Amino acid sequence: MKLKKMLIVGTALFAGVHAQAADMELEFWTMNLAKFNTYFDQTIVKFNEANPGLKAKWVDMNWDQIQPKLIASIAAGNPPALVNFNVPWVHEFAAQGNILPLDQFLGANKAIYSTNAVKDVQVKGQMYAFPWYNSTQIIAYNKDIFAKAGIKNAPKTFDEFIVMGKQIKAKTGLAAFAPKMSDMIGFFYYAGLPVITDGKAVFNSPKHVAFIQKFADLYKAGVMPKDVFKMAFEQEIAAYNSGKIAMMTTAAQGLKRTETDAKAIYDKTEVAPFPLDAGKLNLGSWMMDFVIPKGTKDPAAAAKLGIFLTSDEQQLAFSKATESTMPSTKKANLDPYFQSGANSADVVDRARSVAAKSMDNARTLTLTPGTLPDETVMTKKLQDEIQNAVEGRKSVKEALDTAAAAWNEKLKK
Amino acid sequence: MAMGKQLQTVLTLSGQYAGLITFGIFTTFPFIWALSVALSGDPSNTWLFPRSFIPTDVSLMWFKRVFDEMPFMTYMKNSTLMTIESILGVLIVSILAGYPLARLKFPGRNFIFVSILATMMLPSEVAIIPNFITLKHMGLLDTHLGAIIPNFAAAFGIFLMKQAFEAVPQDLVDAARVDGATEMQILWRVMVPVTGPSIAALGIFSLVNAWNDYIWPSIVISSRDKLPLAVGVFNDLTGPFATSYSMVMAAIIMTVIPVLIFFAFTQRFFIGGMDGAVK
Amino acid sequence: MKNSSSYTGIAYLFLAPALILMGIFTFWPVGYNAYLAFNNYSIADGVATWNNFEHFKYIAHEELFHNALKNSLIYLLIVPVIQIAALLVAKLVNNKLPGMTFFRAAFYIPVITAVSIAGVVWVNVYKYDGILTWFLQMLHLIPQGSDGQVDWLGNPDFALFGVMMFTFWKGIGWFMVLYLAGLQGIPKEVEEAAILDGANVFQRFWKITVPMVKPTILLCTLMSTIAAMKVFQEVAILTKGQADTYTAMFYVYDQAFRNYNFGRAAAAGLVVTFFCMILAAIQFRFLGEKK
């Protein structure tokens, strides 16, 4: 009798333990997406149903916690299954060997992503992230200020952009725009200018000097606000919302803030695509993605979740939830949802359709990782010198020469 | 003659109050701005100075929205718990440690004191990864205790109590020794009552530190329902998809006010009696 | 009478909680960090390889680090300013006049406000068209209109001082509370006797107040010095390190969390610690109690 009892209990325990062990938890981190909990709740339910034995767990946090938390958890040996990264981080972590290459898990799935999206997350020919939601810059402008300056339409080329800027300042006294001066390397790529060739810094060529000179002239004329180098997207939106600048060069999400914080200006806003320059690439495209950290318990299972979250269907649903971002998959991008708002009375709808049309040239512009031995310091040197030039403390040629010399010294080693 | 003296007093007092008010404006203007933005139903003047110091279209809607869009009470409860535990932890550890360093002779005393001081001079960010690994081994990840325990042994608290204990007159201690008191009794019956103001000061400092602590709790805690206010506000209300600045301001005001009220009510403990605390 | 050896046991018993906690959460990371300063560390592999002082040699040649260190040292100028001001303010509110509670709370508000929020407002104080410009134009100290507009945090000549003002604002209430606690130790009779003797405000301040709060002054000055050497968050929020406000700790943070070079960050951190220790030793020499 006792033996029989023991066997029964033993089997029950064994089955119980086995059942527990079968349910694997896949934790995935996102940054600042807490408000889309309806979307994530339903996507988790769908995933769990389609994958018995796997349980997705969602953790959201502020963007500045992602890297420290991830590094700490990799060092401690318990990293999550997936982490929401941006493109520069993918490159940094791939170079350090802290995230896994994904081609082995993607297989045929690779084909669903747009060409640009794949290129964005490729390091040495391998994909290191699942491309996710994307956004690109558009121009949102204040119709009243444009009218006052005698401008009828948004600029169609970068040169027009600059000329109009000067006109706005001259006729209305207001600054025209506040582009992202904190990423001049991105600007160089936008203009089709190289930064490093054959291991040498080449950004002090006459073409580069002329390009930066344009900005120096704009700054001197007051077309850009005096603190433009310190302005991140939040301050740019705030300036636009206070009527202090005529144009916002921002992703469509920014307009939601204008809708809440400055309804009067929101009603006067019109949108247009941001002009392309010689580089034939959009300025300020920003793609988000998912990476699998090294050391995660079950990379194959994690990849399943990654593929699921970035599938056509899920990406479209997510875009509809945010109302302002684009998918990075080919099919989802063609969905009529994105163009449906083209003639809507609501500015965000129009912005969405403008952004969607611009997605073909959307690449997240960033320097190839591993090119710079001390990226933080060298990038800062270049930025500081350009800032000196644009703000009039040095001549452009002198500034770029100084920065190039500093770069070449470090690159030699 | 009486008139002259009265006039002098009035002038001195006016001077004093003028100085106090001016300095008060200097210290409070950011808070006033945040309060004004939080109370403005119409946010269009937020960035126009000095206009934004006065609310436009007074309304409590932002405060209400904070409660709608964020689990404010949960975060608040977490912050309160964590803060109380932090204060207790810091006070006990600091009082116990400060006493021998201040009043007892023993080998190694100077070395220990210097080592403790030295820890203050190191950058705290570098401790993140080793402490994270330690917590993992102790099973304290994603817990309130894990988020606050590294702060218990704070060099500052120990230093503060040491300085305070040093200032206590020796005769009080000698009298207690003569009476046959143990060291523990001397500490809690003589030292602590006399250094009340310093302990209260340390208490309020620990409170503010714990209440506003962001980096470490954000890294240790992953469950949303365990987050303190300082982290929760930034997680939920900021970022590229945030739609309203005014809401963040309202949330911040609500984070500051509890501490302010607490401070106002308890500050008499570290101002003590005005007849000179130590006789 | 008890002899020294029996105190030893008690002393270590009392010190035990602090020493154990510190051992785990402070000394161990510090030691590990110091170890990293001499190695090349790879996070994912968890492997550290000895590199023969390479990190120290590297930062010795790094112009940005020299500059950063210089800025951190300049920041020390804030220490005497904030200490004297805090002591004066403490003295000013150390009385029973009506409204003192309100003023003490008001002066403490900057301490309670999170750096990030306070930073946002102060960015707007220093904007070329912000509060400071408005204030100075109102007093006619600078030209009206856009001629008088200065990007206060954008000019390398004085941006750092702008950040220092922010630190002053944020910290003064903190030190005020400490000095208030310290002032309680001064018997009122001493001050009253001095007034009867005909001492004026200045004399009373320097001859009575200051000497009698010496332990507090040492504590506060040391804390203030260390904070100045380690300043980072304020700079990150106000200027992001631009306009020659990049400090030593900013360099440490960047190397650790943007370059992922923990060894180099650790080496730079040790240099900062070294300076702090020298300054601390000096302060203990001059402000410490002679036993």
Report yes or no: A89 and A286 within 8 Å, Cβ to Cβ. no
Q: A269 versus B245: which is more confidently predicted?
A: A269
Q: In angstroms, what separates the C-alpha of C280 from chain B's closest C-alpha? A: 9
What's at A141, amino acid-wise? Y
Q: What is the mean pLDDT of residues B97-121?
A: 88
pLDDT digits (tens, 9 = 90+) for B188-219: 888 888 888 888 889 988 999 899 888 899 98
Helix residue ranges, H only, chain B:
2-39, 61-69, 72-103, 109-120, 128-138, 144-148, 155-166, 170-178, 183-185, 192-194, 196-212, 215-220, 229-237, 245-271
B39 alpha carbon, distance to own chain's centre: 26
* Residues in chain A with pLDDT values less than 70: 1-22, 369-370
Q: What pLDDT does residue C291 have?
A: 42
pLDDT band at residue B276 using 50, 70 and 90 as cut-offs: very low
Q: What is the mean pLDDT of residues B124-131?
A: 81
Helix residue ranges, H only, chain C:
4-22, 28-36, 54-61, 63-75, 78-93, 100-112, 115-126, 131-138, 159-183, 188-196, 201-204, 210-212, 214-229, 233-238, 248-257, 262-287
Report yes or no: A313 and A394 within 8 Å, Cβ to Cβ. no
Q: C47 versus A394: which is more confidently predicted?
A: A394
Tell which of A374, A391, A402 to mutate to test the C interface (max C CBs under 10 Å).
A374
pLDDT digits (tens, 9 = 90+) for C157-201: 889 999 999 999 999 999 998 898 888 877 778 878 888 888 787
Question: What is the set of domains in chain C, with CATH numbers?
Answer: 76-246 (1.10.3720.10)
Q: Report the interhelical angle of A206-220 vs A375-390 (nearest 10°).
A: 60
Nearest to C117 among B125, B252, B271 (CB): B252
User: How far is residue B258's CA from residue B83's CA, in Å, rounded to a whole number?
Assistant: 12
Domain residue ranges of chain B, discontinuous segments joined by +:
2-59, 66-278
Q: In angstroms, what separates the C-alpha of B200 from chain A's closest C-alpha? A: 33
Distances (CA, A) of C122 to A367, C119, C170, C231: 33, 5, 11, 16
Q: Report the interhelical angle of B245-271 vs B72-103 (nearest 10°).
A: 30
Residue A124 gets the label, from left (phi > 0), alpha (psi -120 to 50) or beta, of left
> DSSP states of A128-168 as a string?
-SEEEEEE--EEEEEHHHHHHHT--S--SSHHHHHHHHHHH
Report the DSSP pairing between strands A24-31 and A82-86: parallel
For residue B184, what are the contacts with CB-CB under 8 A and spacing of at least 6?
none
* Residue whose entry in the numeric block shows the structure tokens 């290191």: A128
| Residues of A in Cβ contact (< 8 Å) with B240 | 32, 233, 251, 253-254
Query: Which of the 8 DSSP states describes residue A112?
Result: G
User: How far is residue C134's CA from residue A44's CA, in Å, rounded to a whole number?
Assistant: 53
Q: Counting Cβ atoms within 10 Å, is residue A98 exposed (0-12), middle (13-18) or buried (19+)?
A: buried
- Residues from A contacting C (CB-CB < 8 Å) are 67-68, 71, 74-75, 92, 96-98, 182, 222, 225-227, 229-230, 235, 244, 294-295, 374-377, 380-381, 383-384, 387, 391, 393, 406
pLDDT digits (tens, 9 = 90+) for C81-92: 999 999 989 988
Token pair belonging to A230: 């310190």
Asked whether residue C133 carries a pLDDT value surpassing 80, the answer given is: yes
Q: In angstroms, what separates the C-alpha of B212 from chain C's closest C-alpha? A: 6
Report yes or no: A60 and A29 within 8 Å, Cβ to Cβ. yes
Report yes or no: C73 and C59 within 8 Å, Cβ to Cβ. no
Chains that touch C (3 or more CB pairs under 8 A): A, B
- For A142, phi and psi rounded to 5 degrees? -85, 110
Largest distance between two CA atoms of chain B: 77
pLDDT band at residue B146 using 50, 70 and 90 as cut-offs: very high
Nearest to A72 among B128, B231, B235 (CB): B128
Q: What is the mean pLDDT of residues B3-14?
A: 83
Q: What pLDDT does residue B278 have?
A: 32
User: How far is residue A161's CA from residue A154's CA, in Å, rounded to a whole number?
Assistant: 8
User: Would you call B159 and C219 a contact, using CB atoms and an 8 Å cutoff?
Assistant: yes
Report yes or no: A342 and A353 within 8 Å, Cβ to Cβ. yes
A183-213 exposure pattern, b = at least 16 Cβ within 10 A, e = fewer: bbbbbbbbbebebbeeeebbbbeeebbebbe
pLDDT digits (tens, 9 = 90+) for B158-185: 988 998 888 888 888 888 888 888 888 8
User: How far is residue C212's CA from residue C191's CA, in Å, rounded to a whole number?
Assistant: 11
Least confident of A232-241, B73-82, C34-43: C34-43
Q: What is the mean pLDDT of residues C55-62?
A: 87
Report yes or no: C129 and B52 within 8 Å, Cβ to Cβ. no
Q: B250 versus B237: which is more confidently predicted?
A: B250
Asked whether residue B246 carries a pLDDT value surpassing 60, the answer given is: yes
Nearest to A227 among C127, C246, C255 (CB): C127
B208 alpha carbon, distance to own chain's centre: 2
SS3 (DSSP) at A315: helix
Q: What pLDDT does residue C4 have?
A: 47
What is the CATH number assigned to the segment(s) B66-278? 1.10.3720.10
Q: What is the mean pLDDT of residues C206-231?
A: 87
Chains that touch B (3 or more CB pairs under 8 A): A, C
pLDDT band at residue B41 using 50, 70 and 90 as cut-offs: confident
pLDDT band at residue C145 using 50, 70 and 90 as cut-offs: confident
Q: In angstroms, what separates the C-alpha of B261 from chain A's closest C-alpha? A: 29
Token pair belonging to C44: 């994912």
Query: Of B161, B130, A64, B8, which Cα lies nearest the Cα of C237?
Result: A64
Chain B contact present for C35, CB below 8 A: no
pLDDT digits (tens, 9 = 90+) for C261-288: 888 888 888 898 888 889 988 988 888 7
pLDDT band at residue B270 using 50, 70 and 90 as cut-offs: low
